[in-house]
A = this chain, B = another copy of it.
Amino acid sequence: MTDATTAGTAAVKTGRPSLDLHVIGPIVALLALILIGALMNPNFLSYGNVTNVLARSAFIGIIAVGMTFVITAGGLDLSVGSMAAFIAGLMIIVMNALVPTLGTGWPTILAGMAAALAIGFAAGLFNGLLITQARIEAFIVTLGSMGIFRSLVTWLADGGTLSLNFSVREVYRPVYYDGIFGIAWPIIVFLAIAALGEIVMRHTAFGRHCAAIGSNEQVARYSAVHVDRARLAGYVLLGVLVGVATIMYVPRLGSASSSTGVLWELEAIAAVIIGGTVLKGGFGRVWGTVIGVLILNLIENILNLTDLVSPYLNGAIQGVIIILAVVLQRQKKATR
């Protein structure tokens, strides 16, 4: 996409339009936040804090990568937060149940991970089939399944908390807290998935088809794109990624309850849009989403760095910054 070489003759067109603010907007916002943070607290750029923020971004980050595909294809998924809670709950139940047979070590954990991925797959399939086969608006389907998953986890936990067997937790813990070469596992997994996502979005037919479907479903259908299949794949991919996020989340807290993953869906969608993906579909970029997630998590981190007038106002400041971050990428839409 870099060289402006065009067909045969030199194009008269003046450089590509609006690659400017729209592209660098989120990056500028991110840099501005980092600068503010560094000025406010010398520990902000410390290894520990950076690791904390990145690792914590991983859950929503991994989900938001999947969400980027769904939104690019003109869809939406409100159920991801509840889905994460539901998967975490079932995963814990599965692992606890396996302790007597498989012991408290890695076999149990691996089985739990497999279960998480399988449940994520199934949950994504459930949403996707209702949307593509029963042709119900994605908003309604996933609003419904949000309620369903949330209820189910509350019910599984009997209104309380599902706790992972204590010995299993000790073995599993390093998956969140340790890493390799000083980089925590969640960060590695997040970045790997983001990189993969970016490649899939830009360098595979699937990514292109998502954009085409989001841009104009009819056109995509007429161009031999398997619209329903691609969309379904998007929701399933998202489900599996929620499973992956859960795999990283459970070792952090070792438990799941009805308050797990509350509002993750809004955060994930916000990250996607802050990153420059269009809510109505047709255009998506995964790297933007990564930046969006980082922006959201940095705001929270920075708010903890300082003493505000009142913690009640945190939400207001967060809101203002989210809007400001996007103002940076606003385009002067002359024609449109």
* B312 adjacent to A136 (CB under 8 Å): no
Using an 8 Å CB-CB cutoff, how does the interface string of A142-164 with B read, 1 for contact, 0 for none?
01111110111011001100000
Contact across chains for B315 and A139 when beta carbons are under 8 A apart: no
What is the CB-to-nearest-CB distance from A148 to chain B, in angstroms, rounded to a whole number?
A: 4
B217 touches A148 (CB 8 A): no
A147, B274: Cβ atoms under 8 Å? no
Contact pattern, A 289-313, Cβ under 8 Å of B = 1, otherwise 0: 0000000000000000000001011
Residues of A40-94 contacting chain B, CB below 8 A: 74, 78
- The reply to whether B333 and A141 contact each other, CB–CB distance below 8 Å, is no
Most interface-central of A158, A274, A315, A331 (chain B CB within 10 A): A315
Binds B, one of A106-114, A194-202, A320-328: A320-328
Task: Tell me how many chains of this kind the complex includes.
Answer: 2
Flag the segment in A181-189, A239-247, A265-273 that touches B: A265-273
Q: Is there contact, CB below 8 Å, between A143 and B322?
A: yes
In contact, B152 and A316 (Cβ under 8 angstroms): yes
Instruction: Provide the A174-217 mask, 1 if CB < 8 A to any CB of B, else 0.
Output: 00000000000000000000000000000000000000000001
Known: A148-B320, A319-B151, A336-B217. A136 touches B326 (CB 8 A): yes
Q: Is A165 an interface residue (CB 8 A)?
A: no
Q: How far is the CA of A154 from the CA of B310 in the complex (A)?
A: 10
Residues of B within 8 A of A146 (CB): 319
The answer to whether B136 touches A330 (Cβ under 8 A) is: yes
Q: How far is the CA of A96 from the CA of B187 in the complex (A)?
A: 52
Given contacts A143-B266, A147-B318, contact A333 B135 (CB under 8 A): yes
Complex CA–CA separation, A217 to B280 (angstroms)? 13
Complexed CA–CA distance, A43 and B136 (Å): 33
Task: Let me know if A279 is at the binding interface, CB within 8 A.
Answer: yes
Q: Which residue in B218, B273, B312, B322 is a CB contact (below 8 Å) of A336? A: B218
Q: Among B143, B152, B159, B322, which residue has its beta carbon within 8 angstroms of that of A147? A: B322
User: Can you list 12 A-B contacts with CB-CB less than 8 angstroms, sorted by A residue number?
Assistant: A136-B327, A137-B279, A139-B270, A139-B279, A140-B273, A143-B266, A143-B270, A148-B319, A150-B315, A151-B315, A155-B310, A218-B336
List chain A positions with a Cβ less than 8 A from chain B: 74, 78, 130, 134-137, 139-141, 143-148, 150-152, 154-155, 158-159, 217-218, 221, 266, 269-270, 273-274, 279-280, 310, 312-320, 322-323, 326-327, 330-331, 333, 336
The 4 closest A-B pairs by CB, nearest first: A147-B319, A151-B315, A151-B316, A144-B319
